[in-house]
Amino acid sequence: MTGSFSANAQIKKACIGKWSFDAPGAPDGYTYGLIEISKDSVKTSFTTSNFKFPSIWVKAKNDSVTYKASIDGTDVIFSLKLENETSIKGNAVWYEGETLMILRKKED
């Protein structure tokens, strides 16, 4: 179910948009990229590829967005929290580990 939401999920408007990210503890090729958050899905891409990995499911609560995506065959759960209008912090967890995620709002 690509892009599905839990029944009561509502992503806060301030979270919606394009966010560049740095994930310093991720494997090579997955440390930088873009996360696109819309009202009904999240897409993740990396600077090494033009492919956008869609969310499998998304949960939103207050200033937080949690979603799961299959990144090159590996399930990754992203937990993100809005810090302010231009910054989101969180983490990504997969079977081999976890990394800090630092996101900065991109200008449209």
* Integer Cα distance of 43 and 36 in angstroms: 5
According to the model, what pLDDT value does residue 10 have?
63
According to the model, what pLDDT value does residue 12 have?
81
Q: Which two tokens stand for residue 50?
A: 């033009």
29-33, 58-62, 80-84: the lowest-pLDDT one: 58-62
According to the model, what pLDDT value does residue 68 have?
98
Residue type, 1: M
Confidence band of 39 (pLDDT split at 50, 70, 90): confident
Measured over the CA atoms of residue 8, residue 57, residue 50 and residue 27, the dihedral's sign is positive
* % of residues, the chain, pLDDT over 90: 77
- Domain residue ranges in the chain: 4-105
Cα of 29 vs its chain's centroid, Å: 16
- 4-105 to CATH, choices 2.40.128.20, 3.40.1190.10, 3.10.310.10, 1.10.340.30: 2.40.128.20
**Over residues 39-59, mean pLDDT:** 94
